[in-house]
Amino acid sequence: MEDEGKTMSYEELKRKRVAVLMGGLSSEREISLRSGRAVLQALQESGYNVFGLDAGRDMAQRLLQEKTEVAFIALHGRFGEDGTVQGLLEILGIPYTGSGVLASGAAMDKVFSKQIFIGHHIPTPDSVTMTQGEDCDALEENIREMLPVVIKPACEGSTVGVSVVYDMGALRTGLTEAFRFDRRALVERFVHGDEITVSVLDGEALPIVQVRPKSGFYDFTSKYTVGKTEYVLPAPLPPEVYRRAQELAVAAYNALQCRGAARADFIVDGDRIFCLEVNTVPGLTETSLLPKAAAHAGIPFSELVQKMLKGACLKA
C-alpha cells in the first residue's frame, strides 16, 4: 500500500499499471466515456501502461484482476465524483487522481458545499432547501421573494434536472423534475449576469472562461454539443473582478479541501461575484472548460492529463 499523500514521478508512473475509470452508473455516463477516452488516448500516446475500465458494480474485482496500481478518475456524477469511488480506492490502496473522499462528497452536495462557502465568506446566491415529501407551503413566501429561482437536484451535475422558475405556478413542476434525481432540491435565487468558470490546477487558478450559450441557458445540450455555446477566453472582465474571481475560485477549492484539478463556476453581476459550485472531476471532452483554460495557459491536453496523473495518491 502506498503512503498517504505520497505522489510519484513521471518515470515511476510510466512503470505502473494505470486504469482510466470512465462511464460508470450516473446520468453523466456518456460524458464520462468521452472524457475517459480522451484521457486514455493521451496517456497511451505519452507512453504510459494504461487501460480503460468502465466502472460498474464489479469495479473492485476488475481493478484487482488487472493488477491496477494507479487510477485516473474520469467519472462524472454519482458513484464517481461524490467520494464513493474515492473511498473504494482508499480501501484497495490504489492511488488516484483528484480530490479525496471528504472533498469529493462535500463538493458534489450543492446544499452542503453552499454552507461551506457561506462559512468561508465566499459569496453565493441566497437559497432554500426542499426535501421530497415536505410541504412547501411554509417556504413559499421565502421562495416568492427570491423569484426567479433555479431549482437543482442537490447531488447531480451537468445541469441534469435543473429548471429556471419565473413564477410560483411553475415551482412545483420544477421541484418534481429535481426530485426525479434526488430527494433534496436546492432552490436558489437566479442571478442575472455573465457566467464564468475558473479552473484550478494544483491550487493555482487558470485563465477564466466566459460561457455564452446561444440558447441563453447553459444546459446539458449547450454544454456538450459543439457549436451551441461560445467560449470567450480570457473572459472580458475588469482587471479587479478578474483577479477577485480567481481568488474566490482558489478559496472555494481550499475551503472544500480539493486536490488536483477542479473547476469553480460563478455568475458575475457588475462587480459582484457569486460562486455556484465546484466540480472536482471537470470534464475532459472536446467542449470542456478545463482543457480550454489549460491550453490558454500554455498547457496542452497531453501535459494537462499527465499533471493530473502525477498528483495521484492516497488521501485518507
| CATH number of the domain within which 81 lies | 3.40.50.20
Predicted TM-score (pTM) above 0.85: yes
Q: Which tens digit of pLDDT belongs to each residue from 156-180? A: 765 778 989 998 888 888 999 999 9
Residue 174 and residue 37 share a domain: no
The percent of residues above 70 in pLDDT, for the chain, comes to 94
Residue 203 and residue 169 share a domain: no
Active site residue ranges: 28, 158, 224, 263, 265, 277, 279, 283
Residue 78, number of CB atoms within 10 A of its CB: 20
- For the chain, the C-alpha Rg in angstroms (whole number) is 19
Residue 132, number of CB atoms within 10 A of its CB: 13
Closest listed residue to residue 301, CA positions, set 315, 314, 282: 282
Q: Which tens digit of pLDDT belongs to each residue from 30-54? A: 999 999 999 999 999 999 999 999 9
Per-residue pLDDT at 1 exceeds 50: no
**Stronger pLDDT, 155 or 198, i.e. the higher one:** 198
User: Residue 294, class by beta-carbon neighbours within 10 Å (0-12 exposed, 13-18 middle, 19+ buried)?
Assistant: buried
Residue 2 lies in a domain: no
- Which amino acid, one-letter code, is at 306? Q
Residue 184 and residue 142 share a domain: yes
User: Residue 252, class by beta-carbon neighbours within 10 Å (0-12 exposed, 13-18 middle, 19+ buried)?
Assistant: buried
pLDDT for 172: 85
Per-residue pLDDT at 203 exceeds 60: yes
Q: How confident is the model at residue 58 (pLDDT cuts 50, 70, 90)?
A: very high
Residue 241 and residue 110 share a domain: yes
Residue 133, number of CB atoms within 10 A of its CB: 7
**CA 286, 287, 293, 298 torsion: positive or negative?**
positive
Residue pair 107/278 in contact (Cβ under 8 Å)? The answer is yes
Residue 269 and residue 181 share a domain: no
Q: Which tens digit of pLDDT belongs to each residue from 207-252? A: 999 998 876 665 556 555 666 789 999 999 999 999 999 999 999 9
Residue 291 and residue 216 share a domain: yes
When divided into structural domains, the chain yields a total of: 3
Residue 289 and residue 267 share a domain: yes
Residue 118 and residue 63 share a domain: no
Residue 111 and residue 146 share a domain: no
Residue 154 and residue 82 share a domain: no
Q: What is the mean pLDDT of residues 140-144?
A: 81
Q: What is the mean pLDDT of residues 91-107?
A: 97
Residue pair 162/185 in contact (Cβ under 8 Å)? The answer is no
